[in-house]
Structure 1
Amino acid sequence: MYYLSASILSADFSNLSDQIRQAEDAGVDWIHIDVMDGHFVPNITMGPFIVETCRRITSLPLDVHLMIEKPENHIQSFVNAGANWVSIHIEGNPNVHRTLQLIRSLGAKAGIVLNPGTPSQAIEAVLPFIDLVLVMTVNPGFSGQTFISQVLSKITSIRKLIDESNPKAIVQVDGGINPENIAAVAEAGADCFVAATAIFKHPQGIAEGAKSLRLALQKKMRLSPQIQERG
């Protein structure tokens, strides 16, 4: 299975309900919510109240990416607000194992995130305790950035680690995903694709943005034995 997670970081917040419903009608699988505190990354975005708002709008899984310091202090609030998936960074989180356990104990799925400059080996010790690995293909903080193609080899390395130690876990990729690179990302080993600008800022609208990503992936699946084996 492949999943498309629509990141509302690029949505029009003056019409958030309509934007999310359009994405849902377009067939996206999850809604991705980027939470930034202005310290861990140089931007400030959403908190639990946005997650709660999204939960009222849609029944789709809410995929929450915490780019914040001391995420362990906020897990309960995000799960209570309706998060189904909660992902935290390996960078700067000395209690990462305990925090992953907390996420799962509260009934949500736990994800671990790596920035582009963080090697895949950094997460080996926590792989048995996660449900998802999120590989960043841009430096986190802002939408609309250019995909860093050098990260493709890291996605492949993480895919191998997952297959060996926790094959039920999902490999998610976020950052500059578009119709031109989504197939290469799938071939590298990804199961889930986060897209913000490619969906919510598509010139022909949200439905066309989601459709173009699906079509690019489906076209490559017909041609690539590697993708066919996983799909």
Structure 2
Amino acid sequence: MHKLGPSLMCADFGNLERDIKELDKAGVDFYHIDIMDGRFVPNFTIGPDFVKTVRNLTQTPLDVHLMVEDPEKHIDLFADCGVEMISVHQESTQNLHSVLMKIKSKGIKAGVAINPGTSIEFLDYVYDLLDYIVVMTVNPGFAGQKFIPSMYEKIAKINEKIKAYNRPIEIQVDGNIGASTIPSCKENGAAMYVLGTSAVFNSNHSLEENVKLTRTLFN
């Protein structure tokens, strides 16, 4: 199953409830929420109060992507918001194994996000703890960037590793995901798609229409 997750970083914050109701009606599979601290990446975004607001508006699973230094300090905070998934970056912590164990101890799916320039070898030591892997197909921090073509090969290599480990780990792709990139991501093994201005939040159609159009790419 291919899962669609609108990136709420791209939503209209002044009409958040309206947008989420429309996206729920369209049948999206999860909501992706980027948390940035201005240190690990050069941008600031939303925090736990926003996540709690979204939780009160929908029962659709929430996927929190922590682009912050020392994420272990914040797992409890976001777990208490009622999220279903949390991903962290290997470069952001000195003890990735411990952070992933802490996420899973909360009954939350644990993920690792991989920057474009990061090698995948470190995953060999944490596959047993992972529920999903986020392949960043742009450099993290800002919306509207161009997809990095070499990431198709990275998706394929991770997919082969997952098959070798025979574990139910899903590959999520994040960054300029839309009509021009989804087919090759799918072909190389992606299962979860974070959708921003290149797809769901494209102003040419309504949110519901954009979700429907994106679904056709998997037919």
Q: Which bin holds the TM-score, normalised by the shorter protein?
A: over 0.9
Give the percent of matched residue pairs that are identical in Structure 1 and Structure 2.
Answer: 44
| Whole-angstrom CA distance in 2 between matches of 1:205 and 1:182 | 20
Q: Is the 8 A contact 2:153 2:188 kept in 1?
A: yes
How much does 1:166 deviate?
Answer: 4.7
Instruction: Assess, with a 3 A threshold, how the Cα gap between structure 1 residues 135 and 41 changes in structure 2: closer, same or farther.
Output: same
1:167 paired residue number: 167
| Whole-angstrom CA distance in 2 between matches of 1:167 and 1:190 | 15
1:85 paired residue number: 85
1:226 paired residue number: none
Partner letter of residue 162 of structure 1?
I
TM-score (ref. length: structure 1): 0.92
SS at match of 1:149: coil
| Whole-angstrom CA distance in 1 between matches of 2:218 and 2:178 | 10
2:217 paired residue number: 216
Partner letter of residue 213 of structure 2?
S
| Whole-angstrom CA distance in 1 between matches of 2:116 and 2:51 | 26
Aligned pair 1:207/2:208, yes or no? yes
Q: Is the 8 A contact 2:146 2:176 kept in 1?
A: yes
Instruction: Assess, with a 3 A threshold, how the Cα gap between structure 1 residues 166 and 81 changes in structure 2: closer, same or farther.
Output: farther
Instruction: Assess, with a 3 A threshold, how the Cα gap between structure 1 residues 8 and 139 changes in structure 2: closer, same or farther.
Output: same
| Whole-angstrom CA distance in 2 between matches of 1:212 and 1:148 | 23
Aligned residues: 218
| Whole-angstrom CA distance in 1 between matches of 2:204 and 2:27 | 18
How much does 1:26 deviate?
Answer: 1.3
Q: Is the 8 A contact 1:6 1:195 kept in 2?
A: yes
1:186 paired residue number: 186
Q: Is the 8 A contact 1:8 1:200 kept in 2?
A: no
Partner letter of residue 206 of structure 1?
L
Partner letter of residue 200 of structure 1?
F
| Whole-angstrom CA distance in 1 between matches of 2:166 and 2:143 | 30
CA RMSD across the alignment: 1.0
Which stretches in structure 1 are left out of the alignment for 5+ residues? 219-231
2:10 paired residue number: 10
SS at match of 2:101: helix
What per-residue deviation string (whole Å, max 9, x for no partner) do you get for residues 171-207 of structure 1? 1110000012101101011011111112123311211
Q: Is the 8 A contact 1:180 1:216 kept in 2?
A: no
1:129 paired residue number: 129
Which stretches in structure 2 are left out of the alignment for 5+ residues? none
Partner letter of residue 103 of structure 2?
I
| Whole-angstrom CA distance in 2 between matches of 1:212 and 1:149 | 23
| Whole-angstrom CA distance in 2 between matches of 1:69 and 1:129 | 20
What per-residue deviation string (whole Å, max 9, x for no partner) do you get for residues 14-48 of structure 1? 01111111111112100110000000001100111
1:225 paired residue number: none
| Whole-angstrom CA distance in 2 between matches of 1:206 and 1:124 | 39
| Whole-angstrom CA distance in 1 between matches of 2:115 and 2:31 | 21
SS at match of 2:200: helix
Partner letter of residue 218 of structure 2?
L
| Whole-angstrom CA distance in 2 between matches of 1:211 and 1:149 | 26
Task: Say which structure is richer in helix.
Answer: 1
How much does 1:121 deviate?
Answer: 1.5
| Whole-angstrom CA distance in 2 between matches of 1:93 and 1:180 | 34
1:68 paired residue number: 68
| Whole-angstrom CA distance in 1 between matches of 2:7 and 2:93 | 24
